[in-house]
Structure formats: structure tokens, C-alpha cells
């Protein structure tokens, strides 16, 4: 097996690493100041400016097909790029992308929603989670009832990423209660101007999700994405599009954090010697190094399965679970190594501490990942020996 990158792949990774160091890391202190004042880390204009700067070097639509003006990079390369972006807590993503299920739109919908989203003119959000339907997505209660050639949507969505900024939402609603999730859920493309509103949800981190409220929102039949009653299949396709990318970004965060811990251990002295000479510190460094490397290969293995056309859901659940648990353990050790200074806001450790905690909750909690992994193994859907062989 050859685990080395090609010259081109290495150049792509290194360009992103340089971009992060030059354009994002220098903004960290200002971003921290803004966040503590209740302001957005990067304004929409600043984010757009950075995305256009990256576009000048060809970084636009990382996974968007080349036929739509994107780079069409592999899953493995995308995971490597996410790891590089994870080296800073400044929230940035390359422009030129659109939710995968938007590609299922008809010609009119592609012109109205897909292409403007790829170009950056429009912003979408994925709205399935509800106050009573988180991990149990089949338990959604938002309804859409037929009224002539229109549908009337009523209900509430919660913890919707990007919901405060989006100008249209992909909303999943019950259109046939008797059929339930399998045949009774439909996805609608709903412009904000059609009447829904968003409410900011304050969290312990800097992630600002939204609650979306739909009160008799009238939507034309033409706004159905895909087929009537087939929304749940679209939702599962969206959820499974790249769960490996969440722990991929954590790789970069943990690399930066562990580097900080090593530097501090080598310079901080107690009782006449660097704390790096203390066995307790050495063990924390060693455990973090091993777990970080294990996480890297779990993520890359899941991405490799995606590129190989294999069913990667089991591998992605493993990467998501391990990444969430171990990233939180690593940041906790790094804070411990820094002692009191690590607990202060003078260092960004506490910022990562709050951010990485979310990884164990959103897009599938630890418990849901364990449930999925266990079921796959117990029912023989996945082998203990893994995908190779």
C-alpha cells in the first residue's frame, strides 16, 4: 500500500496550509474579541472576500463537479483540506459549493437555487431537525397540507445550521401521515420571502443555529424537490454525504492543540526542570499523539471507501464517534498541561474546548453512532475484519 500523496495532491494541501497561516490565523485575536462582544467572527462580506481570494488560485467548489465550475476533488483530498482548515478556529469554508440534494432539482430549480448557491449569490439551509425529532428524524411533525395547487406548511425546525443567514430552506414535512417517513415525507424549497422566520439560538459555543417557524406558509407545487413522498430518502442522502468531514476538521484542531502543548511543556519549568520531563505530562502527550494518528486513518479510510464507491456509512460512524470522543479528550489534556493559563481567555484553548464539544452531539450523537456501529456488527452488515481483504 502506498499512503503517500502525489505531487499535485501535496501542492493542493500545502496551498491550503499556507492560506490558513496567512489569511486566517492572523485574524484569530480579532475574531475572539468580536465573539466575546456577541458579534460574528467573520462578517459575510469578509468571508466572501476571503473566498474570492481563494478562488483566484482555483479553490472554488472543492467537491462541486467540474461541469458546474468546481474542483471536483476526491473525498480523501477533501478530508485533507478540512484538516488544514481545522488548524484555526476561524470559521471558513471555500465558496462554490451547494448541498448535494440540490442537484436533484429540475431544470427550473437548478437555475433558481442550485446555480446561484454555487456562485455564492444565494444561501441555503437544511431543515429537518425539530424540537421532538433530533436523532429520531422519522419523528418529524411539521406538516404540509394540499390546498389547490399549493401546499400549506406548519411547524417548527430547530438547531438549523445557517438558518439565520439563509434566504431559502430545504424543508422536510409530512405530506401523507398514513405513510409516515417511508413515502409520506416531502422536501420543499421554501424562500424566506414566502413567510417563514428564523430565531437565533444562543449556545455555549460560537455556533449560532436557528429555530425556523412556519405558520401557514404557502408553497407552490413547483417547489417540491425530488418526488412527492420521497423526502426522507433525500434527507438521508444529505446526512450521509460526508460525515467523515466533521472529524476531519478536528484532526487539524488537535494537531494545532498538541503542538501548543508540546511547546508549552518544553518551555514551562517547575521545580527547576521543564514539565516535559514529568512522566504525567509525557503520558498525556503520548496518548494524544497515538489517538490523533488513529483518528487520521479512521477518517482517511472512510474517505477512501467513498472514493472507491463502497458503502462508507459504517466507517464514517466510526470516524465520527472516535473523532468526537478523542478530540474532546485531547483538548482537555492540552488545557491541563497549560494549567491555569489554559483556562483563561488569553489563550484560545477554551475556545476550542467549547467548539469541539459540539462534535459529540450534532449530525449524529455519540450514542447514535454507537447504536449504528453495534447494529451493523450484530446483524452482519459490517465485518470485524474491516473493508480490506
Residues 17-70 have pLDDT tens digits of 999 999 999 999 999 999 888 888 888 899 999 999 999 999 999 999 999 999
332-339: average pLDDT: 98
Higher pLDDT, 133 or 143: 143
pTM higher than the cut 0.95:
no
Q: Both ends of the chain: CA-CA distance in Å?
A: 13
Whole-angstrom distance, CA of residue 368 vs CA of residue 365: 5
d(C-alpha 163, C-alpha 178), whole Å: 29
**Domain 7-99, CATH:** 1.10.540.10
Would you say residue 135 has pLDDT above 80? no
Catalytic residue positions? 363
To 10 degrees, the CA torsion angle through 141, 198, 39, 30? 60
What's the rounded mean pLDDT across residues 227-235?
90
pLDDT confidence of residue 136: 66
Residue 82 has pLDDT above 70, yes or no: yes
Q: Residue 173: which H helix or E strand, with range?
A: strand 168-174
Q: pLDDT for 201-227, tens place per residue?
A: 888 877 778 999 999 999 999 999 999
CATH 1.20.140.10 fits 241-378, yes or no: yes
- 227 contacts: CB under 8 Å, gap ≥ 6: none
Write down the pLDDT at residue 239.
78
Phi–psi pair at 156, nearest 5 degrees: -135, 135
Work out the angle at residue 364's Cα, subtended by the Cα atoms of residues 246 and 327, and round it to the nearest 5 degrees.
Answer: 45
Tell whether the model's pLDDT for residue 164 goes beyond 80: yes
**pLDDT at res. 386:** 66
Q: What is the mean pLDDT of the chain?
A: 92
Domain chopping of the chain, boundaries: 7-99, 107-112+122-238, 241-378
- Is residue 286's pLDDT more than 80? yes
Asked whether the predicted pLDDT for residue 389 surpasses 50, the reply is no
Choose which CATH entry (2.40.110.10, 3.40.50.880, 3.30.420.40, 3.40.1370.10) describes domain 107-112+122-238: 2.40.110.10
Do the bridges between strand 224-225 and strand 185-191 make them parallel or antiparallel, or are there none, so unpaired? Answer: antiparallel
Amino acid at each position: 500500500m502506498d499512503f503517500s500523496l502525489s505531487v499535485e495532491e501535496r501542492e493542493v494541501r500545502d496551498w491550503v496550509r499556507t492560506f490558513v497561516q496567512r489569511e486566517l490565523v492572523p485574524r484569530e485575536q480579532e475574531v475572539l474579541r468580536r465573539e466575546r462582544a456577541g458579534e460574528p467572527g467573520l462578517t459575510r462580506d469578509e468571508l466572501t472576500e476571503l473566498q474570492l481570494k481563494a478562488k483566484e488560485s482555483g479553490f472554488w467548489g472543492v467537491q462541486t463537479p467540474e461541469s458546474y465550475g468546481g474542483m471536483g476533488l476526491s473525498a480523501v483530498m477533501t478530508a485533507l483540506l478540512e484538516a488544514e482548515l481545522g488548524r484555526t478556529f476561524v470559521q471558513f469554508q471555500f465558496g462554490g459549493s451547494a448541498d448535494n440534494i440540490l442537484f436533484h432539482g429540475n431544470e427550473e430549480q437548478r437555475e433558481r437555487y442550485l446555480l446561484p448557491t454555487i456562485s455564492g449569490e444565494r444561501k441555503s439551509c437544511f431543515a429537518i431537525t425539530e424540537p421532538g425529532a433530533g436523532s429520531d428524524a422519522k419523528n418529524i411533525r411539521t406538516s404540509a397540507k394540499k390546498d389547490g395547487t399549493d401546499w400549506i406548511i406548519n411547524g417548527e425546525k430547530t438547531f438549523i445550521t445557517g438558518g439565520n443567514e439563509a434566504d431559502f430552506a430545504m424543508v422536510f414535512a409530512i405530506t401523507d401521515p398514513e405513510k409516515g417517513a417511508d413515502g409520506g415525507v416531502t422536501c420543499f424549497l421554501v424562500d424566506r420571502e414566502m413567510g417563514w422566520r428564523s430565531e437565533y439560538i444562543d449556545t455555549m459555543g460560537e455556533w449560532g443555529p436557528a429555530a425556523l417557524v412556519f405558520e401557514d406558509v404557502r408553497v407552490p407545487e413547483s417547489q417540491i424537490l425530488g418526488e412527492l413522498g420521497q423526502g426522507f430518502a433525500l434527507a438521508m442522502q444529505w446526512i450521509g454525504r460526508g460525515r467523515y468531514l466533521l472529524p476531519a476538521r478536528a484532526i487539524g484542531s488537535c494537531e494545532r492543540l498538541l503542538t501548543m502543548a508540546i511547546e508549552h511543556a518544553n518551555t514551562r519549568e517547575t521545580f527547576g526542570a521543564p514539565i516535559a520531563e514529568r512522566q504525567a505530562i509525557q503520558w498525556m502527550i503520548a496518548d494524544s499523539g497515538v489517538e490523533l494518528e488513529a483518528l487520521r486513518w479512521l477518517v482517511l479510510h472512510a474517505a477512501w471507501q467513498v472514493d472507491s464507491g463502497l458503502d462508507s456509512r459504517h466507517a464514517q460512524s466510526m470516524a465520527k464517534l472516535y473523532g468526537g470522543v478523542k478530540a474532546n479528550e485531547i483538548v482537555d489534556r492540552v488545557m491541563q498541561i497549560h494549567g491555569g493559563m489554559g483556562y483563561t481567555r488569553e489563550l484560545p484553548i477554551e475556545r476550542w474546548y467549547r467548539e469541539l464539544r459540539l462534535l459529540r452531539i450534532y449530525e449524529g450523537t455519540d450514542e447514535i453512532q454507537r447504536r449504528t456501529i453495534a447494529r451493523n456488527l450484530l446483524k452482519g452488515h459490517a465485518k470485524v475484519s474491516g473493508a480490506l481483504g
